[in-house]
Structure 1
Amino acid sequence: MNRVRFVAAALLTGALAVPTVTAVAADAYGGGAHAWSPAAGDSGRIAVKDNSKDGDPVKTEYYRTASPDTKRTLWNHSGPGTTSYSGDGSRVYKFKACDENYGNPDDCSGWVIP
C-alpha cells in the first residue's frame, strides 16, 4: 500500500511540474499593420511589420503580465516591409495592430490574446 501511495505522489508531483500552458502564436492585422506574439519564439517579445506603402507608421499596443494595467506601444517608423521587435519582458497577454492615420482614426484590429 505504501508503494502505491509513493507512485501516486510521484505521478502527481510530475504532473504539476510540467507546464500546462504554452505560448500560442497569434496574429493581428489592422490596415497595413501586422503584429504577432510570441516574436522570435519568445512569449515576452512582440513584433510589428509595416505592410502598407502609405508612408504612415504602424504600431502595436500591448499589455504584459508583470504590469497588467500599463498599455505599451511599439512603433515601426522604418517604412514598408520593415519589422520592429520589442525588448524581452514578461509574457505579452493582449495586443492589437494599428496603422496610423494622421488626423483620422487609426485602422486597428481587435484585441488578440496569444
Structure 2
Amino acid sequence: MKRAKFVVATLLTAALAVPTATAVAADAYGGGAHAWSPAAGDSGRIAVKDNSKDGDPVKAEYYRTSSTETKRTLWDHSGPGTTTYSGDGSRIYKFKACDENYGNPDDCSGWVIP
C-alpha cells in the first residue's frame, strides 16, 4: 500500500511540473529584432523589441495552436528600444524575429519553438 501511494504521489508531482516547465521563455534574434514567447508570462502572447538604430521596423512572425496554418505578424514600428506585445490568444507554438530591410531580404532568425 505504501508503494502504491508513493507511485501515485510521484506521478502527480511529475504531472504538475510539466505545465510549469513549458512556461520558460524562448528567444529569437534576427538582425536588430528580438522576439520572445511566452511574453508577460502568458503562452498566448509574443513580444518583439527593436534593438537596432537603422530606422527599419522589426517584426515577429508566429503561429498559434488554434490556427496552425495561419502565419501572423506582430510589427514594432515605434523605433529603437521599443517593445510591442501581441494580444492574448491560444498558445504560440513557433515564431521567428525579423529586421525589415526595404528592397533587400529581411534579416530573420530561424523558427523557434517555445
The root-mean-square deviation of aligned C-alpha atoms, in Å, is 2.0
Q: Deviations over 1:15-67 (max 9, x none)?
A: 68636242221000000000000100111100000000000000000001111
Q: Deviations over 1:62-83 (max 9, x none)?
A: 0011111110000000000000
What's 2:55 paired with? 55
Given the superposition, is the C-alpha separation of residues 55 and 10 from structure 1 closer, same or farther in structure 2, using an over 3 Å criterion? Answer: same
Matched, 1:35 2:24: no
Matched, 1:77 2:88: no
What's 2:16 paired with? 18
Given the superposition, is the C-alpha separation of residues 8 and 51 from structure 1 closer, same or farther in structure 2, using an over 3 Å criterion? Answer: closer
One-letter code of the match for 1:50? D
Alignment size in residue pairs: 112
| Larger gyration radius, structure 1 or structure 2 | 1
Q: Aligned with 1:97: secondary structure?
A: strand
1:83-98 equivalences in 2 (<5 Å): 83-98=83-98
Q: Which runs of 5+ in 2 are unaligned?
A: none
Given the superposition, is the C-alpha separation of residues 9 and 84 from structure 1 closer, same or farther in structure 2, using an over 3 Å criterion? Answer: same
Q: 1:27, 1:8 → 2: CA distance?
A: 38
Alpha-carbon shift at residue 88 of structure 1 (Å): 0.4
One-letter code of the match for 2:109? S
Alpha-carbon shift at residue 13 of structure 1 (Å): 8.3
How high is the sequence identity, in percent, across the aligned residues? Answer: 78
Q: 1:29, 1:43 → 2: CA distance?
A: 19
Alpha-carbon shift at residue 8 of structure 1 (Å): 8.3
TM-score computed with the length of structure 1 as normaliser = 0.85
What's 1:113 paired with? 113
